[in-house]
Chains A and B, each alone.
Chain A
């Protein structure tokens, strides 16, 4: 039970058109998220680390349905939810056609039965409908609107800025009970009790003194607690936390982080913790994924990655963390320049321009795949993997 995978992202891509054209196809795309794969187990959390503009937040927004994925598959609790993340029916249909029907129709029955994981589940359904493609598509897209709505209950997001993510014209009660209101759960009395309970949970006690205040009457930490309460009131199985502590004072940061960890335990949920702060990542997460220009360059258990960084970018990030010791001199980070533009990046290692290890091989070949160097510890680097010398 504890090892159940809550979220699995496979080869997620998100491209934004960099120009608007009417008659011809768009040529230039911003590769915000480029082919990333992530897996999160129940009650565990994964920290997505990287500098500004590397696509961390976009990944989170795709998960909660604020952005459409361009490519890839997102599986939440053994259900492929990608068709639900598309805004219109036809893109969802195209997704099902491309990802399942076209693949399945080429396979023999034997091959279909041997498929594993999520593919296996869908192949079974495909066989049950005796390979009727139209029926299969309509079954997958059945009640799409309702299912999109139900999916929103299971995935919630906590936003970065507690000063902006609460409507200034609503009371705390209105803000926290809004998800209940949208999903038409319970009557007024039940909602009141539920809101009071969750406010106690997030440490805003006594709840009746907070319920009918406005956001501007609360402090930053209290507001972020309200935002957390709002995200948790529907009992989601999975929460995207987009730098929830970065706008808070250092003195209240740990309080909020401890609260989030306790709630994850109590409510059986997992976090995708988006941050640029390695110390926060270390505190909050079981595993870590370092992102650079839309790609994951290194991933593994948090302690392992931070103790033994392999990718040059992770090393540079760690070297940039200040050490609370005036005696100790810290070395200059050995990477140079700044992040290149993610518009149609050239076919070579994304980190090539700034990499101290770069060799010719890195320029000639496309961005390296993640290779498991140590158990559970994957790196996307030709030099570290030993492929290039």
Chain B
């Protein structure tokens, strides 16, 4: 018998292997300028959202030293109930006290945007995670079992893809209180049963016919073992990619619903624009005059969505070697 040949514990070796494959992936990723841009925008927004608690205290130390009473009473940097008593006319244009101005109710726009950022992340990533978990498991099982299961989920995917999901969400908003988490759940489920199942099933089919599946079967592996140990690890890079692209969709849908005033979300980028619209500042010449009401929030939506999209495209080239240039 061999004396213990492996000196290190197994998890340590696995960690090392993982780090190594991450490194090679990073080398490829680094060459894609657009993907790097996406990643840096995402990191910027993450930091932007995380430093939100510092913002009011910095502003207080700089501008509200002489008026602690006003700061305590009106909470001028609260994103929901805040009001600045020093300014006569709201909305006020950007100033030193309010770098992005205030909205018609006298709330600080920058603080609203910062407050919303982590919520956008949570919504997008939760929805995408649900989508990918559903899509991966159903896609892999459809490919593996075929037959009735396959037909059922593929026809379901066709129906979901044909159905206008925004219209469905509008109708649903009449019945359900669409809070942030519920919205994430519904968006996740809707896209999970949709096109992602088709794509992942197609990928899983190419894995299913490879001989290592037969090798595992001939050793006595169960169906669940083959799906979870062989098929899913092989389609996981693709599902990860789709997760990135799905974040975009989720944030976009949320912004649309908030803009239409159908979601029960207290504050988000969509709600900021809706506020401007419902109080009539987006009409006629006002749209140019009161630009700070809609431009920052709109830019944030566009930037974050495109950042996730670019990141996804960059990852696509790592995942799919056929797209690589060399």
Contacts and interface: CB of A to CB of B under 8 A. Distances in A.
A169 B14 CA distance: 12
A155 B216 CA distance: 13
Interface stretch (A89-97, A156-164, A335-343): A156-164
A200 B215 CA distance: 22
Contacts of B212: 164-167
Given A64-B218, A65-B218, A166-B212, A192 B10 contact: yes
A360 to B, nearest CB: 45
Given A207-B5, A208-B6, A230-B215, A169 B220 contact: no
A171 interface: yes
Given A164-B210, A167-B234, A193-B1, A182 B221 contact: yes
Contacts, number: 81
A189 interface: yes
A188 interface: yes
Interface string A161-200: 1001111111100000011001100001100110011001
A169 B234 contact: yes
Contact of A149 (B217, B220, B233, B234): B220
B51 interface: no
Of the four ranges (under 10, 10 to 19, 20 to 34, 35 or more), the interface on chain B belongs to 20 to 34
Given A164-B210, A169-B234, A182-B225, A211 B218 contact: no
Interface in B195-247: 210-212, 214-222, 225, 230, 233-234
Interface string A12-34: 00000000000000000000000
Nearest to B233: A169
B159 interface: no
A182 B220 contact: yes
Of the four ranges (under 10, 10 to 19, 20 to 34, 35 or more), the interface on chain A belongs to 35 or more
A179 B217 CA distance: 10
Interface string A21-61: 00000000000000000000000000000000000000001
Interface in B164-205: none
B29 to A, nearest CB: 19
A208 B13 CA distance: 11
A148 interface: yes
B218 A157 contact: yes
B57 to A, nearest CB: 48
B6 A179 contact: no
Given A152-B220, A153-B220, A178-B219, A165 B6 contact: no
A146 to B, nearest CB: 11
A279 interface: no
A212 interface: yes
A215 to B, nearest CB: 9
Contact of A197 (B2, B13, B233): B2
B218 A66 contact: yes
B47 interface: no
A159 B221 CA distance: 17
B4 A192 contact: yes
Contacts of B5: 192-193, 196, 206-208
Contacts of B6: 192, 196, 208, 211
A167 B230 contact: yes
Contacts of B1: 193, 197
Interface string B131-172: 000000000000000000000000000000000000000000
Contacts of A183: 219-220
A212 B4 contact: no
A191 to B, nearest CB: 10
A148 B215 contact: no
B221 to A, nearest CB: 5
A178 B229 CA distance: 10
Contacts of B210: 164
Contact of B4 (A152, A159, A164, A189): A189
B17 interface: yes
Contacts of A64: 218
Contact of B219 (A156, A167, A197): A156
Which among B6, B10, B13, B225 has the highest number of chain A CB atoms within 10 Å?
B6
Given A153-B220, A161-B211, A230-B215, A188 B2 contact: no
Interface string B3-21: 0111000100100010000
Given A61-B214, A149-B220, A153-B220, 10 more contacts: A66-B214, A66-B217, A148-B220, A167-B233, A178-B221, A193-B4, A200-B2, A207-B2, A211-B6, A227-B215
Interface of A: 61, 64-66, 148-149, 152-153, 155-157, 159-161, 164-171, 178-179, 182-183, 188-189, 192-193, 196-197, 200, 206-208, 211-212, 227, 230, 234
Interface of B: 1-2, 4-6, 10, 13, 17, 210-212, 214-222, 225, 230, 233-234
19 contacts: A61-B214, A66-B217, A152-B219, A152-B220, A159-B214, A160-B211, A164-B210, A168-B234, A171-B17, A182-B216, A182-B225, A188-B10, A192-B6, A196-B2, A196-B6, A207-B5, A212-B17, A227-B215, A230-B215
